[in-house]
């Protein structure tokens, strides 16, 4: 424990030691660095102890391999988890400083694109907080996710060279480096009766870990997130080196691929994947051997679980096999059994373009030995099924087919557990894309609906709401979100509902200030704050929201009134995703048109905030009244911003997609606005190609009048982009059913308006949403992973 005065002293000491400055001379970044130094002292002993205790108790550990992590900032979350947040706040207040202001000096750690990376970071926080020995394993990208600016309404990408500012949270551990080999040739030679590969002409890269402490909530557990950086091996490690070699090595971990669903950058991307997989698995085995020697491999599954988060780390299967067989001389069969017991895999999408496949020739050139290992895994897989199942099923499920390596198949065949990320998603995996595998291995499939850490998304993001919850429930909910259900007792208490509404209003006032500061726009905090924040993607249908905005604009121009509304977008588009960038341009032009039309007079405002990321999300989400979760049904595997918004009392307008289905189940039909085609209708339309958007357009005057606004000159300065959107909506078999769902969406928005008229009833719905968030708490989710998949028990808590 730390008192306010002790904290103050420690902070002043750090400021003095590091910068020799008085408070009033210090920059915000210096203040932040001094605070972070106090925090590091707060966890350093626990960090060391957690590592050594894992070791002493031989507790099983999970290693979570993910090509993306999106932690955001760490100062306040570390303070919260250490139990020092209030003391720090008060100590700074005494010194006439505002902690939240100082905290803004910390740049986001943006080593991910969106949902996938953020999920990994929520899990890291929850695993430590639930007391599990868990390790993140990822890549130290020199350039994180690009910074987004709008110039003339267009997205412009700026480099995000976050390593320049020397994050205080990272510890470089050169002593734990590993060598990773690419390319060249190998021949098998016999050594002591064992066939061993001898390499020639390969490129050797030094993988150096940068570790970040992951502080558990009030429990003395501090885990590690390890990010690998590619460096040039020193002369004694390797003796040849050209400038060209040096450059390609340094480029390896240079950029995060700014694309969260499809992939590109092919060869370099494949290199990145192998790089962090190989370095990670080598370090796991080195640690295991140090503790157990080289003769206890059967114990590996008792001590180690390796999780493959999406297909990018699927090579874990082959790399573990390679190391066991080649380096440690374990028999193939035994190595394979061990591998399957150790590995588990999460699938994050049913979209074909995101299920990675690599060209066999490219793969072989880059990773000749691994290609042969995979070929052997594939051969044995096919052989094991020969004569037992239909040959066509074998062909469809093989790892290598059509001269391509199917990474999802490798992950599935090599794992004992395959999970989807929401009930609907898992069901779709079982019945469609992975149906063959499901029929072969039904026991391996399970669902683990995503979750979010309420520490960041409620306690830190919404301190006032947290305070109200303390008053109503006691502070136990902070440790145990099941307590939140008790909030339903206050559902009819006008005093509580009133307080809830007041807190929402205060959060909206704060966001209004931020909007004013960033865009110059004045928005009315009394209006409905209607929020859609997520990556820009056709399937997420920011376009549907845009069409609703156009419908409102048309009505207001025609004297048809609506409640005041502020529509808030936050979204980055992948730089190479032309359509997504066209959507951004049109939204920005529509915003400009509406926001400056005197006839609208504040009835409607459209705000597109630049550079959506974790920190901006923390500012927007507590201020939302309405959460837009309007993806094409079957396309959004789970979604997690839907959960964050619900936890902050926003009501959801949604299709029955991803985890929206479970939100609807949790809160009940009266407390959510559902619209659109259901999964059977969507799948039927795909199957019989029966969707005809032209027909919808011609038969519905509502649809036609709104969609025509994109091409009739209503919106200045984006003719080409408006036309591109228009064409996309009416093309034959349009895959996202924008027009098909439009009328139903507009009707649901009309129900939102009706509900908004009764503010107390709205607050009641909001309260019921907050009360039912437990099943989306990542603490709960990781417990299920730990029990069902990884078989972990929490560390004994000190």
693 near ligand PLP, judged by CB under 6 A: no
Options 455, 644, 765, 780, the catalytic residue = 644
Note the Cα 604 to chain centre separation in Å. 31
Residue 640, interface with ligand PLP (CB under 6 A)?
yes
Contact 143, 159 (CB under 8 A): yes
* Binds ligand PLP (CB under 6 A): choice among 222, 344, 449, 641: 641
- Alpha-carbon torsion, ordered 475, 479, 481, 484, to 10 deg: -10
* 75-83, 518-526, 610-618, 660-668 -> range binding ligand PLP (CB under 6 A): 610-618
Query: Is 432 part of the annotated catalytic residue set?
Result: no
User: CB atoms < 10 A from the CB of 164, how many?
Assistant: 9
As a whole number of angstroms, the distance between CA 708 and CA 392 comes to 48
Our answer to whether residue 396 is catalytic in this structure is: no
What residues does 205 pair with on adjacent strands?
A: 180
How would DSSP label each residue in 160-183? --GGGG--TTEEE-GGG-EEEEES
Helix (H, G, I), strand (E, B) or coil at 688: helix
Instruction: Tell me which H or E stretch contains 61.
Output: strand 61-65
Smallest separation (angstroms) from ligand PLP to the CB of 256: 14
Alpha carbon dihedral 684, 688, 693, 698, in 10-degree steps, equals -110
Considering only CA atoms, which of 499, 479, 482 is closest in space to residue 490?
499
Among 60, 118, 226, 425, binds ligand PLP (CB under 6 A): 118
How many C-beta atoms lie closer than 10 Å to residue 556's C-beta? 18
- Based on the shown chain and the rule CB under 6 A, indicate whether residue 425 belongs to the binding site for ligand PLP: no
Active-site position among 504, 540, 565, 585? 540
The nearer residue to ligand PLP, 149 or 557, going by C-beta atoms, is 149
Q: Is residue 617 a contact residue for ligand PLP (CB under 6 A)?
A: yes
Interface mask toward ligand PLP for 122-161; x: CB under 6 A: ----------------------------------------
Q: Distance between CA 262 and CA 789 in Å, rounded? A: 27
If the CB atoms of residues 136 and 639 are measured against ligand PLP, the closer one turns out to be 639
Per CB under 6 A, 406 contacts ligand PLP: no
Please give the Cα distance from 374 to 777 (Å, whole number). Answer: 37
Which of 71, 107, 114, 693 binds ligand PLP (CB under 6 A)? It is 114
With contacts defined by CB under 6 A, name the span among 114-122, 155-163, 179-187, 321-329 that binds ligand PLP.
Answer: 114-122
Contacts with ligand PLP by CB under 6 A: the residue count is 12
Task: Specify whether the backbone of 678 is left (phi greater than 0), alpha (psi in -120 to 50) or beta.
Answer: beta
Q: C-beta of 118: minimal distance to ligand PLP in Å?
A: 4
Is residue 534 among the annotated active site residues? yes
Residues 33-65, buried b or exposed e (16+ Cβ, 10 A)?
bbbbbbbbebbeebbebbbebbeeeebbbbbbb
**H-run or E-run covering 280:** helix 266-292
**CA distance linking residue 178 with residue 205, whole number of Å:** 8
Tokens 């470089």 identify what position? Answer: 172
Residues counted in the chain? 798
Q: Which stretch in 310-318, 523-531, 640-648, 751-759 sits in contact with ligand PLP by CB under 6 A? A: 640-648
Q: Minimum distance from CB of 763 to ligand PLP (Å)?
A: 24
Asked if 453 is part of the footprint of ligand PLP (rule: CB under 6 A), the reply reads: no
Q: Which stretch binds ligand PLP (CB under 6 A): 33-41, 191-199, 238-246, 636-644?
A: 636-644
Catalytic residue among 142, 504, 534, 765: 534
Give the Cα separation of 296 and 757 in Å (integer): 68
Q: How far apart are CA 194 and CA 298, in angstroms?
A: 20
Other Cβ atoms less than 10 A from the Cβ of 339: the count is 25
Binding of residue 613 to ligand PLP (CB under 6 A): yes
Q: Which of 42, 107, 115, 420 binds ligand PLP (CB under 6 A)?
A: 115
- The catalytically annotated residue of 60, 76, 142, 348 is 348
Of the candidate residues 534, 545, 603, 764, the single one contacting ligand PLP (CB under 6 A): 534
Tell me the window of 57-65, 373-381, 612-620, 697-705 that interacts with ligand PLP (CB under 6 A). 612-620
Give the nearer residue to ligand PLP in terms of CB position, either 444 or 540. 540
CA distance 772 to 777: 10
With respect to ligand PLP, which residue has the nearer C-beta, 103 or 177?
Answer: 103
| Complex with ligand PLP: residue 280 or 639, whichever CB lies closer | 639
68/185 Cα distance (integer angstroms): 31
The H or E element spanning position 363 is helix 360-366
- Compare residues 154 and 539 and give the one whose CB is closer to ligand PLP: 539
Q: Per-residue x/- mask for ligand PLP, residues 42 to 71, rule CB under 6 A?
A: ------------------------------
Rg of the chain taking only CA atoms, in angstroms = 27
* Rounded least distance, CB 607 to ligand PLP, Å: 17
The nearer residue to ligand PLP, 168 or 613, going by C-beta atoms, is 613
Q: How far is the CB of 214 from ligand PLP (least distance, A)?
A: 17
Among 547, 584, 586, 614, binds ligand PLP (CB under 6 A): 614
448 included as an active-site residue: no
Across-strand partners of 5?
none
- Residues designated as active site: 348, 534-535, 540, 640, 644
Residues that bind ligand PLP (CB under 6 A): 114-115, 118, 534-535, 613-614, 617, 639-641, 644
């Amino acid at each position: 424990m730390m008192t306010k005065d002790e904290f103050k002293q420690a902070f002043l000491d750090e400021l003095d030691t590091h910068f020799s400055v008085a408070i009033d001379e210090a920059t915000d970044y210096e203040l932040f660095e001094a605070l972070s130094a106090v925090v590091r002292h707060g966890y350093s002993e626990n960090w060391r102890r957690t590592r050594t205790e894992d070791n002493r108790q031989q507790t099983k550990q999970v290693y979570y391999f993910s090509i993306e992590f999106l932690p955001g900032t760490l100062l306040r979350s570390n303070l919260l988890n250490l139990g020092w947040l209030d003391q720090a706040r008060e100590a700074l207040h005494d010194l006439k400083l505002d902690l939240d202001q100082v905290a803004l000096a910390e740049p986001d750690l943006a080593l991910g694109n969106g949902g996938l990376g953020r999920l990994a970071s929520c899990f890291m926080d929850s695993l430590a907080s639930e007391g599990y020995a868990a390790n993140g394993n990822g890549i130290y990208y020199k350039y994180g996710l690009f910074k987004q600016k709008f110039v003339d309404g267009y997205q412009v990408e700026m480099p995000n060279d976050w390593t320049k500012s020397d994050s205080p949270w990272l510890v470089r551990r050169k002593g734990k480096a590993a060598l990773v080999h690419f390319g060249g040739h190998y021949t098998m030679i016999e050594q002591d009766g064992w066939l061993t590969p001898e390499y020639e002409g390969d490129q050797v890269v030094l993988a150096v870990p940068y570790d970040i402490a992951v502080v558990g909530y009030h429990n003395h557990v501090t885990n590690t997130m390890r990010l690998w950086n590619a460096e040039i091996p020193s002369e004694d490690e390797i003796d040849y080196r050209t400038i060209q070699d040096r450059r390609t090595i340094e480029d390896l971990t240079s950029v995060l691929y700014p694309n969260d669903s499809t992939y590109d950058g092919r060869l370099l991307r494949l290199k990145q994947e192998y790089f962090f997989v190989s370095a990670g698995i080598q370090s796991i085995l080195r640690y295991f051997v140090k503790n157990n020697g080289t003769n206890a491999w059967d114990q590996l599954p008792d001590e180690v679980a390796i999780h493959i988060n999406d297909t990018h780390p699927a090579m874990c299967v082959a790399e573990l096999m390679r190391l066991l067989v080649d380096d440690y001389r374990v028999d193939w069969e035994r190595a394979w059994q061990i591998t399957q017991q150790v590995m588990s895999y999460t699938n994050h999408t049913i979209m074909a373009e995101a299920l990675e496949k690599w060209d066999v020739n490219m793969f072989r050139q880059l990773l000749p030995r691994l290609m042969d290992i995979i070929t052997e895994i594939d051969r044995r897989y096919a052989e094991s099924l020969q004569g037992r199942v239909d040959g066509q099923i074998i062909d469809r499920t093989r790892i290598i087919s059509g001269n391509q390596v199917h990474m999802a198949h490798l992950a599935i065949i090599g794992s004992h557990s395959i999970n989807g990320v929401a009930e609907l998603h898992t069901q779709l995996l079982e019945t469609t894309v992975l149906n063959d595998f499901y029929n072969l291995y039904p026991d391996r499939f399970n669902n683990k609906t995503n979750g979010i850490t309420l520490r960041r998304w409620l306690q830190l993001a919404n301190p006032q709401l947290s305070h109200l919850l303390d008053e109503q429930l006691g502070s136990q909910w902070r440790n145990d979100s099941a307590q939140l259900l008790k909030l339903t007792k206050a559902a009819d208490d006008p005093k509580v509902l009133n307080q809830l509404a007041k807190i929402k209003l205060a959060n909206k006032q704060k966001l209004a200030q931020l909007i004013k500061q960033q865009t110059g726009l004045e928005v009315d905090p009394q209006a409905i704050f209607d929020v859609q924040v997520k990556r820009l993607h056709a399937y997420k249908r920011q376009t549907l929201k845009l069409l609703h905005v156009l419908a409102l604009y048309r009505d207001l121009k025609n004297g048809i009134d609506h409640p005041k509304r502020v529509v808030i977008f936050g979204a980055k588009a992948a730089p190479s995703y032309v359509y997504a960038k066209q959507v951004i341009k049109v939204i920005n032009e529509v915003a400009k048109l509406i926001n400056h039309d005197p006839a609208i007079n504040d009835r409607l405002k459209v705000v597109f905030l630049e550079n959506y990321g974790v920190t901006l999300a923390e500012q927007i989400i507590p201020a939302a009244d309405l959460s837009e979760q309007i993806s094409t049904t079957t396309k959004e595997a789970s979604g997690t911003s839907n959960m964050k918004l619900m936890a902050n009392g926003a009501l959801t307008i949604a299709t029955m997609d991803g985890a929206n289905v479970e939100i609807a189940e949790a809160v009940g039909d009266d407390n959510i606005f559902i619209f659109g085609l259901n999964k059977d209708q969507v799948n039927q339309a795909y199957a019989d190609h029966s969707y005809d958007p032209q027909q919808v357009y011609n038969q519905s005057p509502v649809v036609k009048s709104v969609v025509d606004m994109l091409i009739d000159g209503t919106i200045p300065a984006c003719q080409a982009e408006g036309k591109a959107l228009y064409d996309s909506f009416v093309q034959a078999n349009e895959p996202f059913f924008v027009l098909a769902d439009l009328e139903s969406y507009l009707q649901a928005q009309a129900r939102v308006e009706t509900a908004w008229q009764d503010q107390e009833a709205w607050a009641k719905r909001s309260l019921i949403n907050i009360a039912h968030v437990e099943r989306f708490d990542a603490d709960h989710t990781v417990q299920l992973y730990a029990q069902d998949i990884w078989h972990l028990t929490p560390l004994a808590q000190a």
